[in-house]
Amino acid sequence: MSRPAIHIGPSEDAKLAAAVRAGGADVAPLEGADAVVWFGGPGELPELPASVRWVQLPAAGVESWMERVRSAPEVTWTSAAGAYATDVAEHALALLLAGVRGLARYARAASWDPQDDRLLEGSEVAIVGAGGIGRALIELLRPHDVEILAVTRRGIDVAGADRTLGAERLHDVWGMADHVVIGAPATDATRRLVGARELARMKPHSWIVNIARGSLIDTDALVAALQEERIGGAALDVTDPEPLPDGHPLWSSPRAIITPHVANPYSAQMRKLGERVRENVARFAAGEPLLAPVEQDRGY
């Protein structure tokens, strides 16, 4: 049986080429290729020849790709969902601890002013969108003696969580948990998932952490909640708009921690993408189901 021909774009990458060969395929030009491994953006991807049956995308979030995905329903598209889960979960935990332990305030201080800060220990943490990143975060939270409330689309029990609720119970979560981590996919249905109403139900000490997509939180509503000190704070690796403009109120808020979408550093991203490429190429060559297929009806 011949080895599949895989095109890598938008340019040759040695690590991805090695992953393709390790998976049992050959690197090839686009014309006549059986599949494409793409690490550029949607606008850079040329029209696919009829020979292409599978496209591997570089990101876990694929909202910007859905127009292309829907325009080629005969092609199997896979995301990198789960490939970067440990890296992003580590960043989520760092943001959560920094918020709860008052590091945002202390980092900005210019004089000695100790406060009686809370502990993460003994709190309840809700993970909204307990996919690969959420499950990795559950493992990292284990040593901190917290109650974990997982929220998933269908409410199927998540390993390691103390409770799991379906998306239809999401309105109850904001008042239940001490802190909330947002890890849901960005779709039309989840845009501004967290708005003024949800923030109003959160506890005065609650921190909200977003490592998913900025569009999941209504930025204006969040700024108002922080200015009025209605929640403990917000720790954001993603924002809406993104990049967050210079001079935006979130930069100067003493209750906000902003990192510039670095939960998945580029150097680690290419290594983890290579691991996913090798696994999916091996599956493609063997005719087995691929990891993280994009479903058109769900939008991820």
Fold match flag (5-83+265-286 vs 85-258): yes
Q: The domain 85-258 is classified under which CATH number: 3.90.226.10, 3.40.50.720, 2.30.30.20, 3.40.50.1980? A: 3.40.50.720
Q: Is 74 a known active-site residue?
A: no
- 3-state SS, residue 199: helix
Average pLDDT for 219-248: 98
> Rounded to whole angstroms, how far apart are CA atoms 167 and 154?
7
Give me the pLDDT at residue 257, please: 98
Give me the pLDDT at residue 190, please: 95
User: Looking at the domain that runs over 5-83+265-286, which CATH code has it been given?
Assistant: 3.40.50.720
- 3-state SS, residue 144: helix
State if pTM tops 0.85: yes
Give me the pLDDT at residue 2, please: 87
Average pLDDT for 133-152: 97
Of residues 272, 271, 289, the one with CA closest to residue 280:
289
pLDDT digits (tens, 9 = 90+) for 90-139: 999 999 999 999 998 999 999 999 999 999 999 999 999 999 999 999 99
Q: Is 7 a known active-site residue?
A: no
Distances (CA, A) of 149 to 45, 88, 192: 39, 19, 21
In the chain the first and final C-alpha atoms are separated, in Å, by 33
Catalytic residue among 135, 179, 213, 255: 213
Mean pLDDT of all residues in the chain?
96
Catalytic residue among 21, 118, 201, 261: 261
Q: Is 63 a known active-site residue?
A: no
Q: What crossing angle do the helices spanning 266-286 and 85-100 adopt, rounded to 10°?
A: 140
Q: Would you kindly state where each structural domain of the chain is located, as residue ranges?
A: 5-83+265-286, 85-258
Catalytic residue among 90, 242, 275, 279: 242
> Rounded to whole angstroms, how far apart are CA atoms 20 and 158?
33
pLDDT band at residue 1, thresholds of 50, 70 and 90? Answer: low
